[in-house]
Amino acid sequence: MAKGLIIVESPAKASTISKFLKNKFNVKASMGHIRDLPAHDLGVDVENNFAPSYVTDKKKSKIISELREAAKNSDAIYLASDHDREGEAIAWHLSKLLEKELGDKPLYRIVFNEITSKAINSAISEPGQIDMSKVDAQQARRILDRVVGYSISPLLWKVIAKDLSAGRVQSVALRLICEREAEIKAFVPKEFWRIEADFWRDDLPKFKASLEKYNGKKLEIKNDEEATKLTTELQKQTAVLSEIKRRTRNVDPPAPFITSTLQQEASKIMSFQAQRTMKIAQQLYEGIDIGGESTGLITYMRTDSTRTSSEANETAKQLIGERFGADYINSSTRMYKNKQSAQDAHEAIRPTDPFRTPESLSPYLSREQLKLYTLIWQRFIATQMKAVKVLGTTARITVGEAEFAASGNQISFDGFLKCYNHVNIPLGEKIHKDYVKSDELMHDALRKTQHFTTPPSRFTEASLIKELEAKGIGRPSTYAAIIGTIRNRKYAVMEKKSFVATPLGMDVNGFLVGKFDSLFNVKFTAQMEDKLDEVEYGKVVWHKLVKEYYDDMKELIDKVDVKKEKEAMIQETGIKCELCGKGEMVVKRGRSGEFLSCNRYPECKNSKSFKRDAEGKIEIVVPKVLDEKCPKCGNPLVERNGKYGAFIACSNYPKCKYSRPKTLGIACPECGTGEVTARRSKKGSPFYSCNRYPECKWISNYKPVPQACPNCANPYMEERYNKDKGTFMQCPKCKHVME
């Protein structure tokens, strides 16, 4: 007897759903998109309403064959890809791919917010149809990004360097990073001084207060002279507690997670990159093997809605009563308002069953999965707990003509902090309850301290995502990809967990802003996101939106003078070429990054490495001269760095082109006669190999260390690094770990 066919995106999800349905349906996975625009061709007919030419993924030929066979032997097909634009497009592509096998069989679209038995069976009992407005919105975004990439990226190749990309949204995120960097560099610190003192009465505890006003006006102390004058004048004055106010306020728990807030908190609390967070969340959503049964642990993780089901809220309250006591249950069910731009297609990110506590799942989850699940679980449970009660005290002290101020908070009831303690409530000064208005106070010596204003902070992953969301750039499913592209393209690097624009990133941004400011700006990009939403709501025709954007872009492209822009990108250094004596060294950029080259190239082929100091000034990297002669010409050998790592070369280059890889002085673990050398792949990833390659083909991603394993006596350990553990040693044979 033929079964209904359900097609999902991933094998993990297929396995989980199949068990819920007790094999009454045939459940297959498409492994994401099975059709897309061609990889090496525009694939868009610009003259025919931007009609796309989709091609099937050759790597998925086996999956496609299995899907066609399964569709042929089914009595109905249910497309169950994710409930967002991308998922809707996947469902539509599947319907097109399987048209022949479908024939007159019923085709349904089913959606669910969580992978639970109840949610799956409910979706099957009330199936719908493919939402073509959502498909059109996805196509509009995909085609917009494609025409931008194929139209503007080649300009970057000609003007700056090969293999660069100009993403429609990523370029605006890069602009934010570069503009912040420019603000930091232009910032001029401003000096200011603070005056503080400790105040007390009788044997009551002291509290610290700062000078705020003088003669009734807000005070700015600009230098040491002013600060000294004030401290001298006020030191002998009588202090009186002129005002003291106490009030209790409530601090409500934050809303349950949406995609952006989950990425932000995971970054701040656990140092997870956005892509890492989404990968782990996907695993928790699709299903984890819990006691032999695959179980979806959280609701869908790509959402901008803070809405949660009444059933889940009531279950959370029940758990709170059992776990923390009835005093911690909020009297009413707390609901949260969505921001105006929220699509509200899904619930917020929450546990599918609040009674699956983190400790009960600990045996089944990896360390990272448990960390993220705990964060999601705690945040959701906290939403139905009572507010934190905070007793706030503010005090004002009159000292002559001056007014000092102090404030402090005390938590009188911990409320939701009992479960979710990642909300910062500043405590400030402890001002004892027995202090009352008009108290005469003692004070110690007035302290003056010098300070300087600080520049704006660089963006972290969390703050960049927050900024993108606040400005309406991108949508929940795009933040991780935006940030990943900026990193992968080396437009920015991470320093102390913050984005720092590289010279390459600054050049790319400078060119794009200079020539395409009207397209790559915050306001226009946010408006485009709103228009894509309107396509989804059926208010805008997708290809008309694309044409409007394309026409504006084409007009700007036609104005670009590539030769002139390329010349403008050349950075002069004022350094004379020592090889030909006639030219000047200029900064150029190749596949491996920046380098110095003679401006008389190709007549003079002199080139060399350089580095920039903290202020961006150029410092020529002088090769390290070795106590070894070139076996070909007898000149000294030097150590240089190339795109594949360090190597040894003749100092008489380019006349003598002798070179060899630099070794680490460690015998090859495979052959024992060669030595280990550090190399880099074409993509820039480090690896280690034997210098006798290809005779010896030993290769490893980890640095070997000649230290015997204490567990199996293997003569070598491998040096590895993990964000949680730091650097540690692991045996490649028995996997024994040494911290």
> Has residue 341 got a pLDDT over 60?
no
The residue with tokens 């070139």 is 630
Q: Provide the edge-to-edge strand list for the sheet that holds 25-29.
A: 25-29, 3-8, 74-79, 107-109
DSSP string, 115-150: -SHHHHHHHHHS-B---HHHHHHHHHHHHHHHHHHH
Q: What is the pLDDT of residue 352?
A: 94
Mean pLDDT of the 227-232 span: 95
Angle at alpha carbon of residue 573, lines to 568 and 574, rounded to 5°: 120
The residue ranking higher by pLDDT, 270 or 733, is: 270
Lowest mean pLDDT among 84-88, 335-339, 610-614: 610-614
Residue 420 — pLDDT band, cuts 50, 70, 90?
Answer: very high
User: Cα–Cα distance between 319 and 297 in angstroms, integer?
Assistant: 16
Looking at residue 497, its amino acid is K
The pLDDT tens digits of the residues spanning 574-631 come to 899 988 999 999 998 876 678 899 999 989 988 888 888 777 788 887 888 999 999 9
Q: What is the pLDDT of residue 683?
A: 67
Are 129 and 78 a contacting pair, CB within 8 Å?
Answer: no
The pLDDT tens digits of the residues spanning 144-162 come to 999 999 999 999 999 998 8
The pLDDT tens digits of the residues spanning 290-309 come to 888 888 999 999 888 899 99
> Has residue 476 got a pLDDT over 90?
no
Mean pLDDT of the 228-250 span: 95
User: What CATH number belongs to 259-382?
Assistant: 1.10.290.10
> Global pTM?
0.81
Four-residue CA torsion sign, 245, 246, 248, 252: positive
The pLDDT tens digits of the residues spanning 42-54 come to 999 999 999 999 9
Q: Which pairs with CB-CB distance under 8 Å and at least 24 residues apart come from 586-594?
A: 587/618, 589/160, 589/161, 589/504, 589/507, 590/161, 591/161, 591/162, 591/163, 591/643, 592/642, 592/643, 593/490, 593/504, 594/503, 594/504
The residue ranking higher by pLDDT, 652 or 343, is: 652
Are 349 and 256 a contacting pair, CB within 8 Å?
Answer: yes
The pLDDT tens digits of the residues spanning 96-139 come to 999 999 989 999 999 988 888 888 999 999 999 999 999 999 99
> Has residue 342 got a pLDDT over 60?
no
Mean pLDDT of the 514-539 span: 92
> Has residue 170 got a pLDDT over 60?
yes
Q: Which of 22-26, 201-205, 480-484 has the highest mean pLDDT?
A: 201-205
Which two structure tokens, joined as six digits, stand for 58? 């050759």
User: Cα–Cα distance between 483 and 492 in angstroms, integer?
Assistant: 10
Nearest to 492 by CA among 143, 721, 726, 170: 170
Q: What is the pLDDT of residue 693?
A: 86
Angle at alpha carbon of residue 15, lines to 13 and 18, rounded to 5°: 105
Q: Which residues contact 416 (CB under 8 A, 6 or more apart)?
A: 253, 328, 382, 383, 385, 386, 387, 388, 423
Homologous superfamily of 152-183+460-563 in CATH?
A: Topoisomerase I, domain 2 (1.10.460.10)
Domain positions in the chain are 3-130, 152-183+460-563, 191-252+388-452, 259-382
Q: What is the pLDDT of residue 344?
A: 56
Residue 537 burial (C-beta neighbours within 10 Å; 0-12, 13-18, 19+): exposed
> Has residue 1 got a pLDDT over 90?
no
The pLDDT tens digits of the residues spanning 174-193 come to 999 999 999 999 999 999 99
Catalytic residues: 300
Q: What is the pLDDT of residue 116?
A: 87
Mean pLDDT of the 236-258 span: 95
Q: What is the pLDDT of residue 735?
A: 86
The residue with tokens 């007159």 is 104
Mean pLDDT of the 545-568 span: 93
Start-to-end CA span in the chain (Å)? 58
Q: What is the pLDDT of residue 727?
A: 79
The residue with tokens 């390659």 is 693
Q: What is the pLDDT of residue 386?
A: 97
User: Cα–Cα distance between 213 and 217 in angstroms, integer?
Assistant: 5
Q: What is the mean pLDDT of the chain?
A: 91
Q: What is the pLDDT of residue 343?
A: 56
Q: Which CATH number fits domain 191-252+388-452: 3.40.50.11900, 2.60.420.10, 2.70.20.10, 3.30.70.1290?
A: 2.70.20.10
Q: Which CATH architecture has domain 3-130?
A: 3-Layer(aba) Sandwich (3.40)
Are 520 and 165 a contacting pair, CB within 8 Å?
Answer: no
Are 405 and 209 a contacting pair, CB within 8 Å?
Answer: yes
User: Cα–Cα distance between 81 and 30 in angstroms, integer?
Assistant: 9
User: Cα–Cα distance between 706 and 666 in angstroms, integer?
Assistant: 7
